[in-house]
Chains A and B, each alone.
Chain A
Amino acid sequence: MKKRFHFSPKKLLVYLCLIIGAIIMVFPFYWMLVSALKTTAEFNSYPPTWVPENWFNMENFKTAFSKAPFVTYFMNSVIVTISCVIVTGFTTILAAFAFSRLKFKGRDVIFSLLLSLMMVPFEMLVITNYETVTRLQMGDSLIVLIIPFISSIFYTYILRNFFLSIPDSLYYSARIDGASNWKYLWRIMVPIAKPSLVTIMLLNAISCWNSFLWTLLVINSDDFRTLPIGLYAFMTEGGSDFKLQMAASTFTVLPMIILFLFTRKYIVNGVARGGIKG
Chain B
Amino acid sequence: MKIKLEGVTKRFDDVVAVNDFSLEFEEGTLTALLGPSGCGKSTMLNMLSGILPVTEGKIYFDNDDVTDMPPQKRGVGLVFQNYALYPHMSVLDNICFPLEIQKVPKAERIEKAKEMARLVKIEQYLDRKPKELSGGQQQRVAIARALIKNPRLLLLDEPLSNLDARLRLEMREEIRRIQQETKVTTIFVTHDQEEAMSISDKIVLMKDGYLMQVDRPQALYDEPQKLFVANFLGNPPINNLEGKIKDGKFVLADDSASVKVDLKSAVEGEEVVLGIRAESVGVDDDADFEAIIKERFTMGKEELAILKLGNSELRIYLSSDFTHKPGEKVGFKLKNKGVFLFDKKSGERK
Interface residues of A (CB under 8 A from B): 167, 169-170, 172-179, 183, 188, 191-192, 194
The smallest beta-carbon distance between A133 and chain B, in angstroms, is 41
B70 nearest CB neighbor, chain A only: A175
Q: Which one, B80-88, B105-113, B334-342, is touching chain A?
A: B80-88
Within 8 A of A (CB), among B46-97: 46, 49-51, 70-72, 74, 76-78, 80-82, 84, 86-89, 97
Q: Are B88 and A176 in contact (CB under 8 A)?
A: no
Residues of B within 8 A of A172 (CB): 46, 49, 51, 71, 78, 80, 84
- Neighbour of A169 across the interface among B50, B74, B84, CB < 8 A: B84
Residues of A within 8 A of B80 (CB): 169, 172-173
Task: List 6 contacting pairs A-B, 8 Å CB cutoff, sorted by A.
Answer: A167-B84, A172-B78, A175-B72, A176-B49, A176-B78, A177-B101
Q: Are A178 and B98 in contact (CB under 8 A)?
A: yes
Q: Are A170 and B77 in contact (CB under 8 A)?
A: no
Q: Which of B46, B71, B81, B149 has the most CB of A within 10 A?
A: B71
Residues of A within 8 A of B87 (CB): 192
Residues of A within 8 A of B97 (CB): 174, 177, 179
Interface residues of B (CB under 8 A from A): 46, 49-51, 70-72, 74, 76-78, 80-82, 84, 86-89, 97-98, 101-102, 145, 149
- Neighbour of B51 across the interface among A175, A178, A191, CB < 8 A: A175
Residues of B within 8 A of A188 (CB): 86, 88
Q: Are A177 and B51 in contact (CB under 8 A)?
A: no
Q: Are B49 and A178 in contact (CB under 8 A)?
A: no
A166 nearest CB neighbor, chain B only: B87
Residues of B within 8 A of A175 (CB): 51, 70-72
In the bound complex, CA of A64 to CA of B88 (Å): 48
Residues of A within 8 A of B76 (CB): 176
Residues of A within 8 A of B145 (CB): 177
Residues of B within 8 A of A173 (CB): 78, 80, 84
The smallest beta-carbon distance between A197 and chain B, in angstroms, is 12
What are the 8 A-B residue pairs with the smallest beta carbon separation, nearest first?
A: A169-B84, A177-B98, A173-B84, A178-B72, A178-B101, A169-B80, A191-B88, A176-B71
The smallest beta-carbon distance between A173 and chain B, in angstroms, is 4
Residues of A within 8 A of B70 (CB): 175
Q: Are A192 and B88 in contact (CB under 8 A)?
A: yes
Residues of B within 8 A of A176 (CB): 49-51, 71-72, 74, 76-78
The smallest beta-carbon distance between A72 and chain B, in angstroms, is 41
B80 nearest CB neighbor, chain A only: A169
Q: Are B78 and A179 in contact (CB under 8 A)?
A: no
In the bound complex, CA of A177 to CA of B72 (Å): 6
Having A178-B101, A192-B88, one finds 15 other A-B pairs with CB under 8 Å, namely A169-B84, A170-B86, A172-B71, A172-B80, A174-B86, A174-B97, A176-B71, A176-B72, A176-B74, A176-B77, A177-B97, A177-B145, A178-B149, A191-B88, A192-B87
Residues of A within 8 A of B98 (CB): 177-178
The smallest beta-carbon distance between A67 and chain B, in angstroms, is 50
B71 nearest CB neighbor, chain A only: A176
In the bound complex, CA of A178 to CA of B74 (Å): 10
In the bound complex, CA of A207 to CA of B82 (Å): 40
Residues of B within 8 A of A194 (CB): 88
Q: Which of A169, A191, A192 has the most CB of B within 10 A?
A: A169
B88 nearest CB neighbor, chain A only: A191
- Neighbour of B149 across the interface among A177, A183, A191, CB < 8 A: A177
Residues of A within 8 A of B78 (CB): 172-173, 176
In the bound complex, CA of A169 to CA of B70 (Å): 16
B51 nearest CB neighbor, chain A only: A172
Residues of B within 8 A of A177 (CB): 72, 97-98, 101, 145, 149
B142 nearest CB neighbor, chain A only: A173
